[in-house]
Amino acid sequence: MTSILITGGAGFIGSHLTRHLLQTREAIRITLVDNMQRARMDQDLQTLLADPRVTLKQLDLTDWASYVALGGPYDEIYHLAAVNGTDLFYKIPHEVLRINTLSIHFILDWMRQYSPNGKLCFTSSNEAYAGALESFGQLPIPTPEAVPLVISDPYNPRWTYAASKLIGELFCIHYAASHNLRAFIVRPHNFYGPRAGYNHVIPQFSERIHKRVEPFAIFGSEETRTFCYIDDAVRAMALLMASDATDTRPIRTFHIGDEEEITMLDLAKRMCAIEGWTPATFDVKEAPSGSVKRRRAAIDAIKEAVGWTPTTSLDDGLRKTMEWYRAFPKL
């Protein structure tokens, strides 16, 4: 029986990862940990918890006392818990730093003592290197993992999330080296899909398209991103966890992302086409300060390590996502 811990397990990535593991493996026991401040006890989560192999513990991972209830040891540890969402970077930057940094610090200390033979997947972010483009006007596109990690402006609250992920990567690299822990780092590139919350661009576009909002505002219309459908993303994480290619010293970092780069304006038009509706006017506005103009990850490392490539087309992923948000609109 393989024992698996997923922090932030009631959230977007955690719930989809749990479903993937339940569908692809039999002899597992999954413990989900979440403070439930943002996650909801919705139908999707209730369905997962109905499986006898899944347990949910409501804990605050910034409180060391919570780790007594965490138990262990665990064979596989996916550390997903973090404060995310661009609007929150501006609203509560101090909490972004506190929660994200303390939780990775404590999970590594706990792992060293109670799950020293386990393996950790730390979810970082492409935000960790995004400042290089703003600071120096250059960043290789597609971007490899081995690029400078830059916080372009410590006074801009947007960069608190990037800083917390950068610190988290350093914690993982040096804890693993000092205490002989097995670990690897992934940098997600715009995961999307059903149940992704309501604070990201695709859910926000979806809501406004369903409501036929006119004029249709787009902030940073020429900025580009790649979007990785959640089923592809969690499959990548599970493959990395199972692979000997991630049992290395020093530990390795992998991008998980799609390869189709698209502007925000074209993304809105694609989503409108799926809905069969086009607004009379696209109201183009400037992007928020600190927003990154272009992102596209090189995914050669993960292809070579575990043979993973995304298989869900953007149109198919957007269609599935928009159907979910039509059924479960923001309250």
Domain ranges of the chain: 2-192+230-258+297-311
CA-atom Rg of the chain in angstroms: 19
- Residue 72 Ramachandran class (φ > 0 left, ψ -120 to 50 alpha, else beta): left
Provide the pLDDT for residue 37: 86
Evaluate whether the domain defined by 2-192+230-258+297-311 bears CATH number 3.40.50.720.
yes
CB half-sphere exposure, 271, CA atoms < 13 A: 29
What percent of the residues of the chain are helix, what percent strand, and what percent coil, each to the nearest 5? Answer: 45, 20, 40
The model carries a pTM of 0.95
Residue 118 near residue 111 (C-beta atoms within 8 A): yes
Beta strands (DSSP E) in 112-239 are: 119-123, 182-188, 191-192, 216-219, 224-226, 228-229
Local structure of 161: helix, strand or coil = helix
CA 166 to chain CA centroid, Å, is 14
pLDDT tens for each residue of the chain, 331 residues long: 999 999 999 999 999 999 999 999 999 999 999 999 888 899 999 999 999 999 999 999 999 999 989 988 999 999 999 998 778 889 999 999 999 999 999 999 999 999 999 999 999 998 888 777 666 767 788 999 998 888 888 999 989 999 999 999 999 999 999 999 999 999 999 999 999 999 889 999 999 999 999 999 999 999 999 999 999 999 999 999 999 999 999 999 999 999 999 999 999 999 999 999 999 999 998 887 667 788 899 999 999 999 999 999 999 999 999 999 999 998 7
**What's the rounded Cα separation, in Å, for the pair 144 and 154?**
24
Burial of 136 (0-12, 13-18, 19+ CB in 10 A): exposed
Beta carbons within 8 Å of 3's beta carbon, 6+ residues apart:
28, 29, 31, 72, 73, 74, 75, 76
Q: Please check whether residue 145 is in contact with residue 254, taking contact to mean a CB–CB distance below 8 angstroms.
A: yes
Degrees, nearest 5: CA angle 44-48-49 = 115
Model pLDDT, residue 134? 66
Q: What is the reported pLDDT for 84?
A: 85
130 Cα distance to chain centroid: 15
Tell me phi and psi for residue 171, to 5 degrees: -55, -50
State how far the Cα of 304 lies from the Cα of 302, in Å rounded to an integer.
5
- Report helix angle 201-210 to 314-327, nearest 10: 60
What is the phi/psi pair of residue 220, to 5°? 70, 55
Interhelix angle for 12-24 vs 230-242, to 10°? 60
| Residue 294, beta-bridge partner list | 224
Cα 210 to Cα 18: distance, rounded to the nearest angstrom: 29
Query: Residue 225 pairs with which residues in a beta bridge?
Result: 262
